[in-house]
């Protein structure tokens, strides 16, 4: 019933009948039947290649589903080589297959490459040692070798031909440890680095854990590349770019880049790229590692809840696990040193976010949470008793997946407006007792101007200086207890100037006096971001936030809004300082020794009242910020491990 000529007749035209017969007589070795290897095998089989040597020691698992040709429920736990051989034989039952179910290693390398016309590399990215050996053996035996690497939503191709530059001459792996080799492999594969600009969550690239994200599209593009170059090499047709030349096509960016790196990784451009990449990897290693799975439900709940936001990542809480169903939150505020924590209300909003997170996280465990403030605890250090109760009626909260992903984006965003459905979802998220005011379109300009003026207060008062000096972690991309420098959302020069200036109050004064020092940061951090967003919003409560409980409840509404924004794939930045200065102005509190800035706060209060309309009582304004479409930040505040936040009662 099977007929080779009929099965592959539609190739004829792009290849001649004679060429098809040549392809039928060829043997290709593929090491790795996973992400790209499976697709390579199926593509090359459909091209009519007649024989393969296939190696892989692995079995299919659920994490392979996103990209591997053979991964699916019916193949879970089955050896990849077996599954892929069966799939290929389903296309061409006459295939001559030699399988290496223990994978390729030094001992079977000679056999694996025996009689092979072409080697197509599909080994796991991090299988660096054996890859070096396979390529070296190909060079020795005069076997052409192709590697097509899936990168983001594109593919990069390198070809090593007999007598030309070898894999080792190109990548320069010898004498380097595994981590450095991984960097060298990555950078050598894709000197154009087209994929980096759209990496949405770089926390998922973990060189140390040997893990990285992948897409099915990239694997299919790789198979297209490898199939084409197999054809060209085996039929000796058309030009083949041989290393140190390479091709990188990125479907996402709609770009094709041909690269030429004489000397391979020894090329000065590559050396520079490697230097930068090493620094990035080191910075990531410093970020907190993912938490180990926890045994107790109460720990799992708190481990997730600790990702609540707080002003400057202060995390004004400690957590006490009294029993599996009882937690005490020991909160505190920072009003005695932080000018932005007026009456402790910023801290209380953050505590509200934490409590909301606990309730959402508990839903994953099928638990309900009741929360009560201990009546005898002071306003500046309130304690809350949380009782956890298993309730079969509780289902996972729809915002649960977004607790860990929620973050602050301080960079300019797209001005694409929110849809009506998105606004409705956000308005519903705040819940009863709250409403949302939107400032969109032209109002954004007024808001940007207001933010720009208000920022003057932040940058020219000694009270603001004290806070910024304390709360920025310089040189950091991730910070456990402060704002990392790179999350500030300003360019390199501004960061350098800010860092220098914050070394002493005198420097700030001189910079402001002689060099208009506030302009650079204000333009980027306030004016530009104020203009570049979909909308500004203010969450308004029906009743004034005149108690700790009212602020905590407001914080819960804020957190629901923020998580819903994350669910809507929106980026989010709080813009709290104008609200705070306006409240200082309304209450007549002398929050700074600088009279001119107290006057400016009164102007900010008036402008805000003008923008928000007369019907909003300043005491009812819970939270202000901006939202919009844009990339997830690559630098963010993280959190210390749960253990660091736990306390013994002292009761």
Ligand X SMILES: Cc1cc2nc3c(=O)[nH]c(=O)nc-3n(C[C@H](O)[C@H](O)[C@H](O)COP(=O)(O)O)c2cc1C
Query: What phi and psi, each to the nearest 5 degrees, are found at residue 535?
Result: -165, 155
Residue closer to ligand X, measured from CB, 214 or 454: 454
468 near ligand X (CB under 6 A): no
CB neighbour list of residue 640: distance below 8 Å, 6 or more residues apart:
288, 315, 480, 481
Nearest partner of 309 among 85, 560, 526, judged by Cα: 560
348 near ligand X (CB under 6 A): no
The one segment of 100-108, 405-413, 513-521, 590-598 that binds ligand X by CB under 6 A: 405-413
CB of 627 to ligand X, least distance (A): 13
What's the start-to-end Cα distance of the chain, in Å?
Answer: 82
- The size of the interface with ligand X (CB under 6 A), counted in residues, is 20
The one segment of 97-105, 304-312, 355-363, 500-508 that binds ligand X by CB under 6 A: 304-312
CB 217 within 8 A of CB 153: yes
Can you list the pairs that 302-305 forms with residues at least 24 positions away whose Cβ atoms lie under 8 Å? Answer: 302/327, 302/358, 302/361, 302/642, 302/645, 302/646, 303/642, 304/357, 304/361, 304/364, 304/403, 304/404, 305/354, 305/357, 305/358, 305/360, 305/361, 305/403
Residue closer to ligand X, measured from CB, 598 or 636: 636
Binding mask 519-538 for ligand X (x = CB under 6 A): --------------------
Scanning residues 406 to 425, which ones bind ligand X (CB under 6 A)? 407-408, 410
357 near ligand X (CB under 6 A): no
| CA–CA gap between residue 277 and residue 288 (Å, rounded) | 19
CB of 74 to ligand X, least distance (A): 41
Residue closer to ligand X, measured from CB, 116 or 350: 350
CB of 585 to ligand X, least distance (A): 17
Angle among Cα 608, 614, 618 to the nearest 5 degrees reads 55
| CA–CA gap between residue 135 and residue 20 (Å, rounded) | 27
CB 28 within 8 A of CB 98: no
Binds ligand X (CB under 6 A): choice among 64, 259, 310, 334: 310
CB 577 within 8 A of CB 458: yes
Scanning residues 560 to 589, which ones bind ligand X (CB under 6 A)? 573-577
Residue closer to ligand X, measured from CB, 121 or 312: 312
CB 633 within 8 A of CB 537: no
How does strand 145-151 pair with strand 118-121?
A: parallel
82 near ligand X (CB under 6 A): no
The residues with which 540 forms a beta bridge, in sequence order, are 435, 621
Binding mask 328-347 for ligand X (x = CB under 6 A): ------------------x-
Residue closer to ligand X, measured from CB, 166 or 637: 637
CB of 208 to ligand X, least distance (A): 23
Instruction: Identify each DSSP E strand in 242-382 by its residue range.
Output: 245-250, 255-260, 317-323, 326-331, 367-373
CB of 219 to ligand X, least distance (A): 32
Residue nearest to ligand X (CB): 309
Scanning residues 240 to 279, which ones bind ligand X (CB under 6 A)? none
CB of 123 to ligand X, least distance (A): 37
Binding mask 482-521 for ligand X (x = CB under 6 A): -x--------------------------------------
Binds ligand X (CB under 6 A): choice among 195, 313, 357, 568: 313
CB neighbour list of residue 104: distance below 8 Å, 6 or more residues apart:
31, 55, 112, 123, 130, 134
| CA–CA gap between residue 53 and residue 67 (Å, rounded) | 22
Scanning residues 608 to 637, which ones bind ligand X (CB under 6 A)? 636-637
Give the number of other Cβ atoms within 10 Å of residue 6's Cβ.
8
Contact positions vs ligand X (CB under 6 A): 309-313, 346, 349-350, 353, 407-408, 410, 483, 573-577, 636-637
């Amino acid at each position: 019933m099977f007929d080779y000529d009929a099965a592959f007749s539609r190739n004829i035209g792009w290849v001649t009948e004679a060429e098809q017969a040549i392809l039928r007589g060829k043997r290709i070795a593929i090491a790795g039947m996973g992400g790209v290897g499976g697709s390579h095998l199926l593509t090359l089989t459909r091209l009519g290649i007649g024989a393969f040597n296939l190696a892989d020691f692995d079995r299919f698992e659920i994490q392979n589903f996103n990209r591997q040709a053979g991964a699916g429920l019916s193949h879970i736990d089955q050896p990849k080589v077996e599954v892929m051989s069966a799939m290929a034989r389903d296309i061409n039952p006459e295939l001559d297959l030699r399988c290496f179910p223990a994978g390729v290693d030094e001992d079977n390398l000679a056999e694996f490459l025996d009689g092979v016309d072409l080697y197509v590399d599909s080994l796991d990215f991090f299988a660096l040692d054996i890859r070096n050996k396979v390529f070296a053996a190909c060079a020795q035996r005069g076997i052409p070798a192709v590697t097509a690497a899936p990168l983001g939503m594109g593919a990069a191709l390198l070809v090593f031909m007999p007598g030309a530059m070898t894999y080792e001459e190109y990548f320069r792996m010898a004498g380097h440890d595994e981590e450095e080799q991984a960097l060298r492999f990555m950078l050598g594969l894709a000197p154009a680095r087209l994929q980096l600009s759209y990496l949405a969550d770089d926390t998922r690239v973990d060189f140390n854990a040997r893990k990285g994200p992948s897409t099915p599209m990239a694997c299919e593009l790789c198979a297209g590349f490898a199939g084409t170059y197999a054809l060209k090499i085996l039929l000796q047709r058309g030009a083949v770019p041989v290393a140190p030349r390479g091709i990188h096509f990125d479907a996402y960016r709609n770009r094709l880049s041909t690269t030429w790196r004489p000397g391979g990784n020894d090329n000065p451009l590559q050396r520079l790229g490697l230097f930068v990449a090493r620094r990035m990897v080191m910075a990531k290693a410093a970020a907190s590692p993912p938490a180990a799975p926890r045994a107790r439900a109460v720990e799992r709940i708190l481990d997730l809840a600790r990702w609540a936001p707080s002003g400057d990542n202060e995390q004004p809480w400690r957590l006490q696990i009294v029993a599996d169903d009882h937690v005490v939150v020991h909160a505190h505020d920072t009003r005695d040193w932080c000018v932005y924590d007026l009456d402790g209300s910023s801290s209380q909003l953050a505590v509200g976010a934490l409590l909301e997170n606990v309730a959402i996280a508990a839903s994953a465990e099928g638990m309900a949470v009741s929360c009560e403030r201990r009546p005898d605890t002071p306003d500046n250090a309130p304690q809350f008793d949380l009782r956890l109760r298993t309730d079969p009626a509780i289902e996972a909260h729809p915002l649960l997946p977004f607790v860990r992903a929620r973050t602050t984006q301080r960079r300019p965003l797209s001005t694409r407006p929110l849809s009506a459905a998105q606004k409705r979802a956000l308005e519903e998220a705040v819940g009863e007792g709250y409403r949302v005011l939107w400032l969109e379109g032209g109002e954004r300009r007024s808001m940007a101007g207001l933010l720009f003026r208000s920022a003057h207060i932040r940058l020219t008062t000694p009270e603001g200086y004290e806070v910024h000096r304390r709360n920025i972690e310089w040189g950091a991309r991730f910070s456990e207890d402060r704002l990392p420098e790179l999350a500030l959302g300003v360019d390199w020069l501004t960061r350098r100037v800010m860092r220098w200036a914050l070394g002493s109050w005198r420097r700030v004064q001189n910079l402001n006096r002689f060099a208009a020092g506030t302009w650079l940061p204000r333009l980027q951090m306030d004016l530009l971001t104020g203009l570049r967003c979909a909308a500004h919003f203010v969450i308004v409560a029906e009743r004034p936030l005149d108690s700790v409980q009212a602020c905590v409840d407001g914080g819960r509404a804020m957190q629901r809004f923020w998580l819903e924004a994350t669910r809507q794939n929106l980026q989010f930045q709080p813009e709290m300082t104008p609200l705070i200065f306006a409240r200082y102005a309304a209450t007549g509190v002398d929050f700074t020794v600088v009279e001119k800035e107290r006057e400016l706060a009164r102007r900010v209060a008036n402008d805000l009242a003008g923008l928000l309309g007369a019907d909003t009582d300043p005491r009812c304004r819970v939270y202000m910020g901006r939202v919009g479409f844009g990339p997830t930040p690559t630098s963010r505040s993280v959190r210390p491990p749960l253990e660091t936040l736990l306390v013994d009662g002292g009761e």
